Homo-oligomer: A and B are copies of this chain.
Amino acid sequence: MMTVSVGDFLKSHDIKPSYQRVKIYEFLKNSKEHPTVEVIYSALNPEIPTLSKTTVYNTLKVFIDKGIAMAITIDEREVRFDAEIRMHGHFKCYKCHQVYDFEMADQTADVEALDGFQIMERQVFYYGLCDHCNQKLEEVEKQ
């Protein structure tokens, strides 16, 4: 198993690895929850008391420009972020509001309606009840 430091990883993507950038990337990479700016800021603020929310916004914009993160607009009200940039779908539970990843077959070829279009990005959002919340609902209905 080969390990590359976050600093080297950022450098290899033409991003100067400042203290804040390293911490923000580490948090995003280790997070499974697709955090918002607010969540990232609140999580890192205790450790970096001088952190500014503007820095979180700026840094995420840099990550996206350099291709090591993506924005997820599955919520109407707030943008979430993801350090996993391989193609995958997102499911949002109406009840617990969690956002789950799911694997997806690449169905680019399926879309003959888009002949001549150059597809550069794909977002697939599903909504409903996650297995956990769905389970609880069924138990209630059984009564």
A residues whose Cβ falls under 8 Å from a Cβ of B: 71, 73-76, 79, 89, 91, 94, 100, 102-105, 107, 110-111, 113-131, 134-135
Nearest CB on B from A16, distance (A): 26
Are A89 and B111 CB-contacts (below 8 A) given A122-B125, A128-B121? Answer: yes
Are A110 and B104 CB-contacts (below 8 A) given A71-B76, A76-B71, A76-B79? Answer: yes
Task: Give Cα distance in the complex from A89 to B110, angstroms.
Answer: 12
Task: Give Cα distance in the complex from A116 to B135, angstroms.
Answer: 8
Q: Given contacts A104-B111, A117-B129, list 10 more A-B pairs with CB under 8 A.
A: A73-B73, A103-B111, A103-B113, A104-B110, A115-B131, A116-B134, A121-B126, A123-B126, A124-B124, A124-B125
Nearest CB on B from A141, distance (A): 12
Nearest CB on B from A85, distance (A): 14
Of chain B, the residue at the smallest CB distance from A103 is B113
